[in-house]
């Protein structure tokens, strides 16, 4: 790490950057906006969390043990699966399990394919690639899952009368649920599709900016960004589809009944 192409940030420089926030805190106090406390807490949380992650990553990077990296990957996937459901406003029994299975399967599948088939990382478990790629894919799939689940459950609760009217007139569970499945998928995919639409126009994506700062040629950074966006889109679509189908299977019984009584407000 001696021949870095970027400027290493010292503690003093870090402190100077933190000072920028003082202006905002001062303004908030002067105008009685009530934001000062939140800003201070958020800043401290961010700093502590990032330092911890940094320490863990340095440790993992030094170990380079495949089983340990896989363990970390499973831990990340588990946390993402849990957080996805933690954000939803409604629940049904088995929802955490559904989320874990779909996010784990889709993220490992997509990241695995990218690492071994596209980027051809050697060794495959090289944490320099595995951890950040998996992290980005999980972070986005998490949003897709939580939006998709929320929309699906909302659809069942808000449209109970209409769904049951269809069922009582001979609709199968698929015919009655189809519109809500489609809406849930669309809702889950919107952030990813929107991000791709405006990428590079409104802002430079974080990963690309990071690579450029670290000395990568802009076109190389662009290529990485494209690969990661394709991965994110594929994984989010897969995870959202998976979890929405799981929810469908739970909320519409095999004998074509709407199981709304399973849905509980958080």
For residue 207, cis peptide bond before it (omega within 30 degrees of 0)? no
Q: How far apart are CA 99 and CA 185, in angstroms?
A: 14
Cβ nearer to other proteins, comparing 180 with 234: 180
By C-alpha distance, which of 157, 152, 208, 214 is closest to 184? 152
Nearer to other proteins, 186 or 223 (CB): 186
Which CA distances in Å does 224 have to 146, 202, 212? 27, 19, 11
Cβ closer to other proteins: 83 or 159? 159
Residue 91 pairs in a beta bridge with 264
| 166 or 189: CB nearest other proteins | 166
Q: Does 255 bind other proteins (CB under 8 A)?
A: yes
CB 41, min distance to other proteins, A: 43
Residue 163 CA to residue 263 CA, distance in Å, equals: 15
58 lines the binding site for other proteins (CB under 8 A)? no
**Shorter beta-carbon distance to other proteins: residue 45 or 264:** 264
Strand ranges inside the chain, DSSP E: 90-91, 264-265
CB of 194 to other proteins, least distance (A): 25
In whole angstroms, how close is the CB of 204 to other proteins at the nearest point? 41
Looking up tokens 């994984």, which residue turns up?
A: 235
| 65 near other proteins (CB under 8 A) | no
Positions 151 through 180 that interact with other proteins (CB under 8 A): 159, 161-162, 164-172, 175
Instruction: Please identify which residue in 208, 251, 258, 263 interacts with other proteins, judged by CB under 8 A.
Output: 258
* Backbone dihedral angles phi then psi of residue 34, each to the nearest 5 degrees: 70, 20
Binding site residues, other proteins, CB under 8 A: 159, 161-162, 164-172, 175, 255-258
């Amino acid at each position: 790490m001696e021949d870095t192409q970027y400027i290493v940030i010292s503690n003093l420089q870090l402190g100077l950057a933190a000072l920028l926030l003082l202006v905002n805190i001062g303004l908030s106090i002067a105008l009685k906006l009530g934001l000062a406390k939140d800003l201070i807490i958020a800043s401290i949380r961010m700093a502590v969390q990032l330092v911890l992650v940094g320490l863990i990553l340095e440790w993992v990077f030094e170990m380079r043990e495949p089983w340990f990296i896989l363990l970390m990957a499973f831990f990340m996937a588990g946390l993402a699966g849990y957080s996805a459901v933690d954000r939803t406003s409604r629940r049904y029994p088995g929802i955490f399990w559904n989320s874990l299975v779909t996010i784990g399967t889709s993220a490992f599948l997509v990241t695995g394919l990218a690492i071994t088939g596209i980027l051809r990382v050697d060794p495959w478990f090289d944490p320099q690639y595995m951890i950040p790629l998996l992290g980005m894919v999980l972070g986005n799939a998490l949003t897709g899952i939580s939006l998709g689940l929320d929309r699906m459950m909302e659809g069942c609760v808000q449209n109970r009368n209409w769904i049951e009217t269809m069922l009582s007139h001979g609709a199968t569970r698929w015919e009655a649920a189809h519109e809500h499945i489609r809406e849930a998928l669309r809702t889950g995919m919107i952030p990813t599709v929107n991000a791709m639409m405006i990428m590079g126009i409104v802002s430079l994506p974080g990963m690309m900016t990071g690579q450029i700062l670290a000395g990568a040629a802009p076109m190389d950074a662009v290529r990485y960004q494209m690969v990661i966006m394709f991965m994110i889109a594929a994984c989010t679509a897969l995870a959202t589809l998976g979890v929405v189908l799981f929810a469908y299977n739970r909320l519409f019984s095999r004998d074509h009944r709407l199981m709304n009584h399973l849905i509980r407000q958080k």
